[in-house]
């Protein structure tokens, strides 16, 4: 599988996403688009907590998704990743995914995600960081071949923020223009419930 055939998170990515892999993605006919990655992506700065604000596909089954990226491990250059969220059928907040990011050694804005545990265990896919402000937001894109439909791919697109608050219209418009520029339909986003009323009242919350 080549980088051209796929691009990101993850965040998750990609994560959350896969309460099963079917809810955080959309089918895409034809070839995956070749979206450039962020140049000189700094994975040391990416580490920390992110809140997942929007993604392609259904967001109705979970709320308050959070991504925790741990610092780069000096021995192999990978980063541990935990994803937690609140199921709509439960008031208990849990870490549902644990995985590993492995940044590319030749293109710093690209990496692969491998799920180590959780409902998507053994899932493995490349992803691309398309746009980022390390203190505010991150846009991630992935496109992989559909496992059952020849000639069709699956797109994952995720918007993260450093704060639970919604991103400004200016930032969201910037990301939409960037996606549209490369032929990705930015109207496919759905938003997660990240409201304080929902997320700060979570019973038995386990901090990421």
Closest CA to 94 of 192, 207, 15, 13: 207
Over residues 185-196, the mean pLDDT reads: 90
Q: Is pLDDT at 7 greater than 70 in this prediction?
A: no
Q: Is pLDDT at 204 greater than 60 in this prediction?
A: no
Please report whether residue 105 resides in a domain: yes
Check residue 106 and report its DSSP letter.
Answer: S
Give residue 3's pLDDT.
38
Tell me the residue range of the domain where 81 lies. Answer: 26-204
The reply to whether the predicted model has a pTM over 0.95 is no
Instruction: Name beta bridge partners: 93.
Output: 86
- DSSP letter string over 45-86? HH-EEEEEEEEES--TTEEEEEEEEPPPPTTT--EEEEEEEE
Burial class from Cβ neighbours inside 10 Å (0-12, 13-18, 19+) for residue 73 reads: exposed
Please report whether residue 138 resides in a domain: yes
Please report whether residue 62 resides in a domain: yes
Over residues 173-192, the mean pLDDT reads: 92
Over residues 84-96, the mean pLDDT reads: 70
CATH code of residue 121:
2.40.128.20
Q: Which helix (H) or strand (E) holds 94?
A: strand 93-103
Closest CA to 208 of 98, 63, 59, 101: 98
Q: Is pLDDT at 76 greater than 60 in this prediction?
A: yes
Rg of the Cα trace of the chain?
16
Please report whether residue 137 resides in a domain: yes
Please report whether residue 9 resides in a domain: no
| Structural domains counted in the chain | 1
Please report whether residue 68 resides in a domain: yes
Give residue 4's pLDDT.
38
More confident residue, 144 or 90: 144
Q: Is pLDDT at 12 greater than 50 in this prediction?
A: no
Asked whether 115 and 123 are in contact (CB, 8 A), the reply is yes
C-alpha pair distances (Å), 4 with each of 25, 35, 153, 185: 18, 9, 12, 18
- With vertex at residue 34, the alpha carbon angle to CA 30 and CA 35, rounded to the nearest 5 degrees, is 130
């Amino acid at each position: 599988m080549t980088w051209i055939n796929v691009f990101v998170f993850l965040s998750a990515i990609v994560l959350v996403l896969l309460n099963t892999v079917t809810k955080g993605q959309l089918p895409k006919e034809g070839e995956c688009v070749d979206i450039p990655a962020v140049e000189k992506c700094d994975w040391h700065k990416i580490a920390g907590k992110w809140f997942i604000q929007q993604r392609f596909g259904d967001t109705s089954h979970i709320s308050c998704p959070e991504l925790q990226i741990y610092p780069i491990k000096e021995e192999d250059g990978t980063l541990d990743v935990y994803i937690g969220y609140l199921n709509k059928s439960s008031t208990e907040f849990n870490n549902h995914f644990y995985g590993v990011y492995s940044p590319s050694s030749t293109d710093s804005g690209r990496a692969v995600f491998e799920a180590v545990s959780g409902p998507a265990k053994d899932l493995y896919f490349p992803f691309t960081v398309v746009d980022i402000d390390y203190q505010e937001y991150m846009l991630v894109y992935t496109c992989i071949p559909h496992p059952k439909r020849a000639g069709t791919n699956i797109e994952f697109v995720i918007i993260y923020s450093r704060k639970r608050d919604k991103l400004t219209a200016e930032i969201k418009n910037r990301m939409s223009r960037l996606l549209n520029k490369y032929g990705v339909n930015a109207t496919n986003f759905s938003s997660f419930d990240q409201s304080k009323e929902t997320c700060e009242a979570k019973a038995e919350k386990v901090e990421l």
